Structure 1
């Protein structure tokens, strides 16, 4: 199979990576808690809720944009067109960025710093396992158009 027809991933790993990272953060929060100063309890809770709301909105906007363009939403399916509108104008990975914002938001709500640590781990692992393969797939399918898109749009933020 040539690179043009190859799938970016054989399995949709990113949701599992973030799910495992959240589970690890919960376990580590119980087993090896990191002490946190409990200043104003409602401020981190409110900030966490706002981040989660923003993350869900970003994910829904990204999925709607992909569906409107009739291309694959799941990361293990071939892209039929290069989507550069909607949230993809600002970041090449808005869905994964949304997952990361959820991790940070839950960390603020629960005051569990392990969510921040595991969020960083999830970003790094997602970049290595999924994002680079997806970018290779898009480069093989859309060539110069994807290169130009990469020049003007950041991978994460």
Structure 2
């Protein structure tokens, strides 16, 4: 199978990596809690709620944009077109950005600093193991058009 027809991923790593990051943060916090000043303050709830709302909005917007363009949503499927509109104008990975913001928002609401650490670890792992594979797939499918998109749009923010 050539690179043009190859799938970006053979396994749904994004769900596994983010799920493992959340579970790890919750378990580590149970055994090694980090004390937080002001615990569950209303400001943390407000910011956390806003981040969660933003994360869900970005994810839904990205999925709707992909559906409107009739291309793959799942990272284990081949892309049929390069989507550069909607939230993809601002970031090449809006769904993963949404997952990260969701983890940070939950961390603020639950006063669990381990979720911040886990979110940053998930970003690093996603970049190395998932996003680079997806980018190779998109480069093989769309060539110069994808390179031009990468030059004008940030990978994360």
In structure 2, the residue corresponding to 1:18 is in which secondary structure? helix
Identify the residue that residue 76 of structure 1 maps to in structure 2.
76
Residue matched to 2:107: 107
Quick one: structure 1 residues 40 and 23, their matched pair in 2 at CA, closer, same or farther if it must change by over 3 Å? closer
Q: Which residue of 2 aligns with 1:48?
A: 48
Do the aligned residues in 1 keep the contact of 2:62 with 2:86 (CA within 8 Å)?
Answer: yes
Aligned to 1:136: 136
| Cα displacement string for residues 126-153 of structure 1 (whole angstroms, at most 9, x for unaligned residues) | 1111100000000000000000000000
Q: CA, structure 1 residues 39+30, in 2 after alignment: closer, same or farther (shift >3 Å)?
A: closer
Task: After TM superposition, give the deviation of residue 40 of structure 1 in Å.
Answer: 6.9
Match of residue 12 from structure 1: 12
Residue 29 of structure 2 aligns with which residue? 29
Tell which deviates more after alignment, 62-71 or 38-47.
Answer: 38-47
For the structure 1 residues 29 and 99, does the alpha-carbon distance in structure 2 shift closer, same or farther, using more than 3 Å as the test?
Answer: same
Q: How far apart, CA to CA, are the structure 2 residues paired with 1:5 and 1:39?
A: 51
- Determine the structure 1 residue equivalent to 2:86: 86
How far is 1:39 from its partner?
Answer: 6.3
Q: Secondary structure at the match of 1:17?
A: helix
What CA RMSD, in Å, does the superposition of the two structures yield over aligned residues? 0.9
Distance in structure 2 (CA, Å) of the matches to 1:99 and 1:28 = 20
CA deviations 1:22-63 (Å, max 9, x no partner) are 111111111001111016711001110110000000000000
Counterpart of 2:151? 151
2:116 alignment partner in structure 1: 116
